[in-house]
Amino acid sequence: MRTLARTALGVGLTAAMGLGASAASAQDQELTLCWAAWDPANALVELSKDFTAQTGIKMNFEFVPWTNFADRMLNELNSGGQLCDLMIGDSQWIGAGAEYGHYVKLNDFFEAESISMDDFLPATVYAYSTWPKGSENYYALPAMGDALGWVYRKDWFERPEIQEAFQAEYGRPLTVPETWEELMEVAKFFQGREIDGEVRYGAAIYTERGSEGITMGVTAALYAWGFEYENTPGSYDMEGAVNSPDAIAALEFYKELYECCTPPGHSDAYMVANLDAYKSGQVAMQMNWFAFFPGIAKDETVGGDVSGFFVNPSMKVAASALGGQGISVVSYSDKQDLALQYIKWFAQPDVQAKWWELGGYSCHVAVAGAPDFPTSTPFAGEFLKAMGGVKDFWQEPIYAELLQAMQKRVHDYVVADQGTAADALNKLIEDWTISFEDDGKL
């Protein structure tokens, strides 16, 4: 990896000091914001019309499907490209963004504009903004809170005949799963069951090999079993943590769930495939990011009272896989002054409130911390529970290399049925040890 020596603010801090004062000079100027192509991006396009109306700065958007997002945008950053003035980059990118000079450090700007990180949910500041982790060095503003959650067919769960059948089989009421063991029972119950003349299946889970899918799914289980990447944070001491007995048990459980209770052909599934399986009525439950839940709630087929939402089930601990992103100013942009204006505008509480209304997930305490937030949507309360116990993948600058190794090892075991869970995790430690040695961390 190469270290890029780009200065942080340097350019145009004074130009970002006032939105109104800058509006006239900003006429005929424009910015390009880069992000993934999904429902929240469409909401951001709508929200950003207000920014253009206030400043005269035209907003362009470069949205890339999630399966290609990392490759496309990391290549753009690594090449010093000037396509993106603003980047809503994944949480795992923050280390590389900081250490390789891709992102502008925002501390001086935040201080000048009285933007306080205390106004944002602590978990999102830690995950989306800081490098080194937990420091007060900020390279992004928390933009899109997200975590992995679950959706279920509430209408099926509530049918008396289905409730009676489940009670007879498992000796307990059919309720929203609170543990992974309960989720397994529910999935097995629905697997192959005929409802309304059609055969249904238990659960759509992540199994995709190409980008990050199966890692995000597997870690949702691992975290619930208490998984840690290191014995001591910052030590890179993985032996006994990554391959602990609990980690092995969690990975075995995920494989069993895949083999027993997923729809036919669900061997390379991520976000869109799970949505399709759920919306088409194939499955009783799906794992997916909270970001998609506003669209599900409004869907003509599965919206309204048809669907319910629940936080990632517990096991030994309550924990959820972190999603979400921060918004950064790209250091290679020659429009940093305009990009900082956008950051300042986006940080305002009233803009954040509208962001939530349109389908984005505000990280601002004034929105997510409001007394009525948990009841504002059918999934808001579960979202807050998830954000209270989120864990993320490695945020190391070499995260992409680390991710590729985990994708291979867990997919080989869960889907390709190669070796044991212990084998997969032992080999993963070997892979990661080589990567950290090459990176000078070990």
pLDDT in single tens digits along all 442 residues of the chain? 323 333 333 333 434 444 444 443 544 699 999 999 999 999 999 999 999 999 999 999 999 999 899 999 999 999 999 999 999 999 999 999 999 999 999 999 999 999 999 999 999 999 999 999 999 999 999 999 999 999 999 999 999 999 999 999 999 999 999 999 999 999 999 999 999 999 999 999 999 999 999 999 999 999 999 999 999 999 999 999 999 999 999 999 999 999 999 999 999 999 999 999 999 999 999 999 999 999 999 999 999 999 999 999 999 999 999 999 999 999 999 999 999 999 999 999 999 999 999 999 999 999 999 999 999 999 999 999 999 999 999 999 999 999 999 999 999 999 999 999 999 999 999 999 999 999 999 9
* Residue at which a domain ends, from 263, 290, 321: 321
| Same domain for 373 and 284 | no
pTM over 0.85: yes
* 176 and 264 part of one domain: yes
- Inside any domain, residue 442: no
HEC assignment per residue over the chain: CCCCCCCCCCCCCHHHCCHHHHCCCCCCCEEEEEEECCHHHHHHHHHHHHHHHHHCCEEEEEEECHHHHHHHHHHHHHCCCCCCCEEEEEHHHHHHHHHCCCECCCHHHHHHCCCCHHHECHHHHHHHCECCCCCCCECCEEEEEEEEEEEEEHHHHCCHHHHHHHHHHHCCCCCCCCEHHHHHHHHHHHCCCEECCEECEEEECCCCCCCCHHHHHHHHHHHHCCCCCCCCCCCCCCCCCCCCHHHHHHHHHHHHHHHHHCCCCCCCCCHHHHHHHHHCCCEEEEEEEHHHHHHHHHCCCCCHHHEEEEECCECCCCCEEEEEEEEEEECCCCCHHHHHHHHHHHCCHHHHHHHHHHCCCCCEHHHHCCCCHHHCCCCHHHHHHHHCCEECCCCCCCHHHHHHHHHHHHHHHHCCCCCCHHHHHHHHHHHHHHHHHHCCCC
422 is a domain residue: no
Co-location of 141 and 241 in the same domain: no
Residues 224, 328, single domain; the answer is no
Q: Are residues 289 and 365 in the same domain?
A: no
Of 265, 295, 321, the position where a domain reaches its end is 321
Q: Among residues 292, 321, 350, which one ends one of the domains?
A: 321
Q: Same structural domain for residues 244 and 380?
A: no
Residue 405 in any domain: the answer is no
Let me know whether 348 and 302 are in one domain. no
Q: What is the CATH number of the domain that holds 293?
A: 3.40.190.10
> Are 168 and 262 in a shared domain?
yes
In a domain, residue 2? The reply is no
Q: Is residue 297 part of a domain?
A: yes
Do both 102 and 199 map to the same domain? no
Tell me, yes or no, whether 334 lies in a domain: yes
Residues 265, 295 share a domain: yes
Q: Which domain holds residue 251?
A: 148-321
Q: Are residues 26 and 123 in the same domain?
A: yes
User: Within a domain: residue 397?
Assistant: no
- Number of domains observed in the structure of the chain: 2
pLDDT tens track for 213-239:
999 999 999 999 999 999 999 999 999
Residue 412 lies in a domain: no
Same domain, 161 and 309: yes
